[in-house]
Amino acid sequence: MSLRKSLHNAFAAKLDAKTGSKWTDMWKGQINRQSTKYPFNFPANFVSIRNIPWQDMTLNHKEGTAIIDVYVFFDKYGDTFEGATDKANSMTMMDYLDTLANDLHWMTDEGSFYAFGETTQIGEEDLTDRYERPAHRLTFQCQVGKTITPAIHVSN
């Protein structure tokens, strides 16, 4: 299995195990496509392996830092003002995000061939204005490595 698949599967397994999670998928901009109906329910989680800058360490080994985004979408806005009828539901959204961030922090995949180091949260962004629904992006990073078989060219 590839490194990207290992990362995606590890994040998806943690997200699927989260109580209250209704859908986990690879991020492909599904929310942006208004004309297409997708079968997901909310809260919906999407995993994106955004970036992996690599460095050559030895002739056949590379190491890098993977940046992983987890997009979280909810189905409705909520009010939090004193006396709001849905204040408890709105606070539940915040609890859900905090629990996800905590569950994904320090996750590792030491047993796989494409092991990745401990994940750590490096960012969080409210994307509600962009997607016109309650939306958040939790960003994590971890150290990764892979073995390669380079084509060696020797000039005479």
Q: What is the mean pLDDT of residues 9-37?
A: 79
pLDDT of the residue at 140: 98
Q: 90 is written with which tokens?
A: 């709105």
Q: What is the mean pLDDT of residues 45-52?
A: 93
Distance between CA 24 and CA 13 in Å, rounded? 9
Query: What is the value of pTM for the model shown?
Result: 0.84
* More confident position, 2 or 139: 139
The greatest distance separating any two alpha carbons of the chain, rounded to the nearest whole angstrom, comes to: 81
pLDDT of the residue at 25: 85
**pLDDT higher than 80, residue 138:** yes
- Mind listing the pLDDT tens digit for each residue in 115-135? 788 999 999 999 989 988 889
CATH no., domain 3-147: 3.30.2000.10
Indicate the pLDDT class of residue 110, thresholds 50, 70 and 90.
low
Q: What is the mean pLDDT of residues 27-33?
A: 75
Indicate the pLDDT class of residue 97, thresholds 50, 70 and 90.
very high
**pLDDT higher than 90, residue 70:** yes
- Ordered DSSP codes for 79-147: --STT-TTHHHHHHHHHHHHHHHHHHTT---TTSTT-B---EEEEEEE-HHHHTSSEEEEEEEEEEEEE
Q: What is the mean pLDDT of residues 67-94?
A: 83
**pLDDT higher than 80, residue 47:** yes
pLDDT of the residue at 39: 65
Distance between CA 42 and CA 24 in Å, rounded? 10
Q: What is the mean pLDDT of residues 24-39?
A: 71
